[in-house]
Structure 1
Amino acid sequence: MLADERRADRLLALTGLTPDELRGSLMEAPTHAAVLDFLLGNEADLVAAAEELDVPPQAFAQARESIPA
């Protein structure tokens, strides 16, 4: 996801995270939720991430459901 500059810029813009904040909070649930919300909000991003990670797209929705809002 972050290898694609346009996608990375959009992720940062939509989540409100800076690159440093993203790096520093990678292990935190709110960051996981923000990234999953980003992916689930755009089918092209969702499919690209699923293909890159070799998981079904539904896995992202299931992961998001496990994180409190």
Structure 2
Amino acid sequence: MALALLGWILGDENRADRLLSLTGLTPDILRERLDDRSVLAAVLEFLLAHEPDLTKAADDLQIKPEAIVSAHQQLTSSV
């Protein structure tokens, strides 16, 4: 789910720029550490911090927002 949401974020240049600016992630980090739980958690946290993006992503990917919250909790419980 986190990878699908990352793809959704990166599909919009403004949103992608905001992700990089706010999280401190770089394109290199994203490429090299796609399987890193902390990177995936940061992606989900980015969405959780901005409700309009959260609800739009959930709608576009047909995921309940609560599932995104739950996925973030699962990722951060082991980070």
Matches within 5 A, 1:29-44: 29-44=37-52
Deviation per residue, 1:46-68 (Å, 9 max, x gap): 11211222111111100011122
Q: Which sections of structure 2, spanning at least 5 residues, go unmatched? A: 1-8
Report the Cα distance in structure 2 between the residues aligned to 1:27 and 1:48, rounded to whole angstroms: 24
Taking only the aligned residue pairs, the percentage that are identical comes to 51
Report the Cα distance in structure 2 between the residues aligned to 1:49 and 1:23, rounded to whole angstroms: 21
Q: How many residues align?
A: 69
Q: Report the equivalent of 2:16.
A: 8
Higher RCO (CA 8 Å, separation ≥ 6 residues): 2
Q: Could you tell me which amino acid in structure 2 is paired with residue 22 of structure 1?
A: L
Q: Could you tell me which amino acid in structure 2 is paired with residue 61 of structure 1?
A: V
Tell me the TM-score normalised to structure 2 length.
0.80
RMSD, matched Cα: 1.1
2:58 corresponds, among 31, 50, 69, to 50
Q: Which sections of structure 1, spanning at least 5 residues, go unmatched? A: none
